[in-house]
Amino acid sequence: MTYSISWNVADSRSLVMEDCKKSDTLQAGMLEQVLPDTICWHDIEEKDIERVLNYIRFEFGHINIWIESEYYDGCVCDLTFVCGTIA
């Protein structure tokens, strides 16, 4: 099982290419702006959640986030809300 962490752009800022390049150095999932107002970091393994949260705090500040578990069935991903908190 993997996890997604999402947040609203209004709580931080929009992504730029440099954000995606920096996040790749963690080798934990993938960061992308999935909608004009939503940023998502998905495919995070449980062991990497704390590292990703620390990165989000450093780059985007202490913001409201949503953590969801991901269950893949073929090419379809079912998300289940785990918690909402401040990173």
The pLDDT value recorded for residue 75 is 73
What tokens were used for 20? 């995606």
Token pair 């269950």 in the structure block, residue? 71
The pLDDT value recorded for residue 31 is 94
Mean pLDDT in residue range 59-86:
82
Q: How far apart are CA 13 and CA 79, in angstroms?
A: 24
Q: How far apart are CA 23 and CA 17, in angstroms?
A: 10
Digit-coded pLDDT (tens) for 17-71: 999 999 999 999 999 998 888 999 999 999 999 999 999 999 998 889 989 998 8
The pLDDT value recorded for residue 87 is 66
Q: Does CATH place domain 2-86 in 1.10.10?
A: no
Residue 24: half-sphere exposure toward Cβ, Cα within 13 Å: 5
More confident residue, 40 or 75: 40
